[in-house]
Amino acid sequence: MPLRERHVTPSILSADFAKLGAHVQEIMDEGCRVIHCDVMDGHFVPPITFGPMVVSALREALPDEAYLDVHLMIERPERHVEAFASAGADGITIHVEATPHLDFTLSKIRDLGCKAGLTVCPGTPPEHFAQVQDIDLALIMTVNPGWGGQAFMPGQLDKIRRVREMLGPDVAIEVDGGVNPKTGAQCAEAGANWFVAGSAIFNAPDPVAAYHAIAKAVGAE
């Protein structure tokens, strides 16, 4: 998958789960290729969302060109990455704060044939990205993980700049939380190239128009 390209990656967290396939397909018909899936376990973050079964159902429902970008907000992700890879994840992102076995888990993700992503909560410094061997994607949380619809944290823009300097152009830098046309453009300017947007798309009166507005603002179309 084009890790160097710019993509808006809609988060299904704010979609209607009873009509998930149709909602995502509607955005894919507009050119969207990366779908962000937020997995929460009730431990690492308070809410519980969904597990591999929903990822697998989406995989079945969507065309092959859909890239399923799975963001694991779960404790000890090394115990579950195999299940998400089998379910059809293309990329799996784990939290620095969720396991003492980062390198092991990232290698395991790659051995399973998926792209390996690493992410940090807003209060966690960016130096962690320099401590691991190979990652395909760095996810910078721009809200505290756990809920959609929170306000963007502008203090994270410096972290995006730092991480882009540290990792160079070949690693995707994804931002997640409070992304709309205005904040998305700020993140793009700071060096991000994948832009998660949940409520700004799926809670909008016209999700297709909202998708295009963000994509234009960040230079993804």
Q: Give the binding site for ligand DX5 (CB under 6 A).
A: 11, 13-14, 36, 38, 71, 143, 145-150, 176-179, 196-200
As measured in angstroms, the least distance from the Cβ of 111 to ligand DX5 is 25
Residue closest to Zn ion when measured from CB atoms: 71
**Closest Cα partner for 37 from 215, 198, 211, 210?**
198
As measured in angstroms, the least distance from the Cβ of 50 to Zn ion is 13
As measured in angstroms, the least distance from the Cβ of 39 to Zn ion is 9
Of 38, 41, 69, 136, which is the active-site residue?
Answer: 38
171 binds, among Zn ion, ligand DX5, none (CB under 5 to 8 A by kind): none
- 41 in contact with Zn ion (CB under 5 A): no
Quickly count: other Cβ atoms within 10 Å of residue 47's Cβ.
14
38 catalytically annotated = yes
Among 88, 116, 176, 197, binds Zn ion (CB under 5 A): 176
* Burial label, 142 (beta-carbon count in 10 A; 0-12, 13-18, 19+): buried
- 38 in contact with Zn ion (CB under 5 A): yes
**Closest Cα partner for 65 from 93, 28, 91?**
28
Query: Residue 106 or residue 143: which is nearer to ligand DX5 going by CB?
Result: 143
Among 7, 23, 71, 80, binds Zn ion (CB under 5 A): 71
Stretch that binds Zn ion, among 1-9, 63-71, 75-83, 149-157 (CB under 5 A): 63-71
Query: Residue 33 or residue 107: which is nearer to ligand DX5 going by CB?
Result: 33
**Closest Cα partner for 54 from 42, 64, 68, 43?**
68
164 binds, among ligand DX5, Zn ion, none (CB under 5 to 8 A by kind): none
As measured in angstroms, the least distance from the Cβ of 179 to ligand DX5 is 5
Q: Which residues are catalytic?
A: 38, 176
Residue ranges that bind Zn ion, judged by CB under 5 A: 38, 71, 176
